Chains A and B, each alone.
Chain A
Amino acid sequence: MRGGQVAARAPVIQFTNCRILRGGALLREDLWVRGGRILDPEKLFFEERRVADEQRDCGGCILAPGFIDVQINGGFGVDFSQASEDVGSGVALVARRILSHGVTSFCPTLVTSPLEVYHKVLPQIPVKSGGPHGAGVLGVHLEGPFISREKRGAHPEAHLRSFEADAFQDMLATYGGLDNVRIVTLAPELGHSHEVIRELTALGICVSLGHSVADLGTAEEAVQSGATFITHLFNAMLPFHHRDPGIVGLLTSDRLPAGRRIFYGMIADGIHTNPAALRIAHRAHPKGLVLVTDAVPALGLGNGRHTLGQQEVEVDGLTAYVAGTNTLSGSIAPMDTCVRHFLQATGCSVESALEAASLHPAQLLGLEKCKGTLDFGADADFVVLDDSLHVRATYISVGLCSALTTCLWWG
């Protein structure tokens, strides 16, 4: 946070010849930035009577708010769920590398793990502002261990848990504390889940429903208790059924609290969700769609075989398999690829696609005043995109982090 005095002396930078995403539309406007914040040029003109200190020509590109990834398990060989001595440098590596994907803020995600891992790792991932060193850490996303056995997916069965009698304390003991935690994914059909959801919501932690066999009624009650997110819709939950839509039915439920919007994560890599399913969800509830990568450590490693912890993984283009098999081993599509694929698969507007990766996750986390938007006063985290939504440059609290003139190999 910069003091007002310092900010007033900081140079004013004017980004010209661009289209900015503001108010849900791409406007032919200049973007003005000072001291790491988006500046209102009108006030600058009339009250301070100043002009820009520097003008940067954006070559007709699109300027969008920096992408926010609320579910990413690692990347570039780093696994967030691994209890190493230096978790911090692993997080920092990922934070730096995802800038080139247009991601300026993220939630490192821990899958179901033994207690020791939580106790060791969580304190080493503090909330941290972004900068030229890397994307900002908004807080940790804890996916598990309070999830359904049947829908655990790739989570290790041995470490799954259900709530004991004093559910919230049980959870605290499991994680070793909730500092640094931003999102918790749990299965609402577990006993005592409602009191946990209420306690977490009261602490300002976002509760997400996922890896669950809950029916729609249970899911609705969970939302009434405070849940606001669905973890990777369609995956690891009961399939939609016309007489019991399950968690998927939350998208069009009429039993949600008034004024509350339910958000849902979608992995739009073209592999984990059929484009038709993506379209159904988007058409049913476009304002709640949050693009996530759910990326695994193989993200960014390039084609070929890689050893990740105990696993051997084969990467081929956008797909990662358990080596020697046809079993998917998690997603490795970077966020900008997800945005492009989402745009192409749904046929939505460029503005909608960009908002799904920036504004909606910011709204989910209650950060829409300073993240996920280019409104005046917001943090100056933004990404420069060409018309096909390839990342040309990423700006974070305005330092220029990476200016790419060619798209990434899987673009």
Chain B
Amino acid sequence: MRRIRGTRRGLLCAWVYIRVLRLRATRAGWGRSGLVGVGCSSCSSVGRASGSTGLNLSWKLCVTIMRLVILDNYDLASEWAAKYICNRIIQFRPGQDRYFTLGLPTGLPRNHPESYHSYMWNNFFKHIDIDPNNAHILDGNATDLQAECDAFEKKIKEAGGIDLFVGGIGPDGHIAFNEPGSSLVSRTRLKTLAMDTILANAKYFDGDLSKVPTMALTVGVGTVMDAREVMILITGAHKAFALYKAIEEGVNHMWTVSAFQQHPRTIFVCDEDATLELRVKTVKYFKGLMHVHNKLVDPLYSMKEGN
């Protein structure tokens, strides 16, 4: 199973949500365990078929919670996040009529020569056995962009809402392309990008600012808040101030990720560098909880052995 980066720096573009379909719920018919391996290098071989009750217990006790999971470095943070997603999907017991709906960022602006379709294909879809009809990406080339956004919101609703939304934040604390000043109840829409974002995107366009798009389709803060669970990945010292604003200061539309303080189930996964602006007390507190957090990823479940 190939290793996939569990997180991506500078998550920038319109969000995609995918419906993860388990082709058959029984043990026999998994076929390739590609989907199980979302971000998991070892999912199919390491997982033990222990009963799931032990892990579920911690879920049931902590239905509304914000967790801050701190790992030593980028690789460990990625791996932790990947295992978490893996376990979440398996525990959900998806099946023919029971879809696990996963929301994901794409990481590249639209109009990039490679396009975020290529990015999503190369980094995710080609590694898993998802039905293409269950992968929904906002189309930046649609003729009526607002209608495209509205249709996207409708599809999310029809899918029964998003079970887990995985994303990152910008240095200015934005989630998706919800730049500072975005409404905290915003929905999927066309958004003008901040100069910071444009500068950050320039590297995908050979440093030529004139080529960088100034608009993007994005899910709104409200859209993400509707997800049943949200995981935010934050790594690197340049995100440290944004993380501080996200969890130690108040809810503020200038730091849109702070809205998740009011979400019933949020988990922030970060590396040491990202905690540089937090109070020592905060970091020590959450590091002290790592033995609890690690129960979420150990044991690592496997589709093959069944649950």
Residues of A within 8 A of B (CB): 16, 28, 30, 41-42, 44-46, 48-51
Contact = CB atoms under 8 A, between A and B. Distances in A.
Contacts of B122: 42
24 contacts: A16-B32, A28-B2, A30-B126, A41-B121, A41-B126, A42-B117, A42-B118, A42-B121, A42-B122, A44-B132, A45-B121, A45-B125, A45-B126, A45-B135, A46-B121, A46-B132, A46-B137, A48-B132, A49-B132, A49-B133, A50-B132, A51-B129, A51-B131, A51-B132
Contacts of A51: 129, 131-132
Contacts of A41: 121, 126
Contacts of B133: 49
Given A42-B122, A45-B126, 9 more contacts: A16-B32, A30-B126, A42-B118, A42-B121, A44-B132, A45-B132, A46-B117, A46-B137, A51-B131
A45 B2 CA distance: 20
A60 to B, nearest CB: 13
Give the top 7 A-B pairs by smallest Cβ distance, nearest first.
Answer: A49-B132, A42-B121, A45-B132, A46-B117, A49-B133, A45-B125, A45-B121
Interface of B: 2, 32, 117-118, 121-122, 125-126, 129, 131-133, 135, 137
A11 B131 CA distance: 17
Q: Is the interface of B mostly helix, strand, loop or mixed?
A: helix
Contacts of A48: 132
Count chain A CB atoms within 10 A of each CB in B2, B122, B126, B129 and give the residue with the most: B126
A44 B137 CA distance: 15
A52 to B, nearest CB: 9
A28 B125 CA distance: 15
Nearest to A28: B2
Nearest to B125: A45
Contacts of B135: 45
A42 B124 CA distance: 11
A208 to B, nearest CB: 40
A49 B148 CA distance: 19
A50 B2 CA distance: 23
Nearest to B2: A28
A375 B125 CA distance: 20
Count chain B CB atoms within 10 A of each CB in A16, A42, A48 and give the residue with the most: A42
Contacts of B132: 44-46, 48-51
Contacts of B131: 51
Nearest to A45: B132
A346 B176 CA distance: 52
Contacts of B32: 16
Nearest to A48: B132
A216 to B, nearest CB: 43
Nearest to B139: A46
A41 B129 CA distance: 13
Contacts of A46: 117, 121, 132, 137
A42 B115 CA distance: 11
Nearest to A57: B32
Contacts of A16: 32
A41 B34 CA distance: 16
B1 to A, nearest CB: 11
Contacts of B117: 42, 46
Contacts of A28: 2
Nearest to A44: B132
B3 to A, nearest CB: 11
Contacts of A42: 117-118, 121-122, 126
Count chain A CB atoms within 10 A of each CB in B118, B121, B122 and give the residue with the most: B121
Contacts of B121: 41-42, 45-46
Contacts of A49: 132-133
A1 B131 CA distance: 31
A250 B98 CA distance: 68
A45 B118 CA distance: 11
Contacts of A44: 132
A28 B131 CA distance: 22
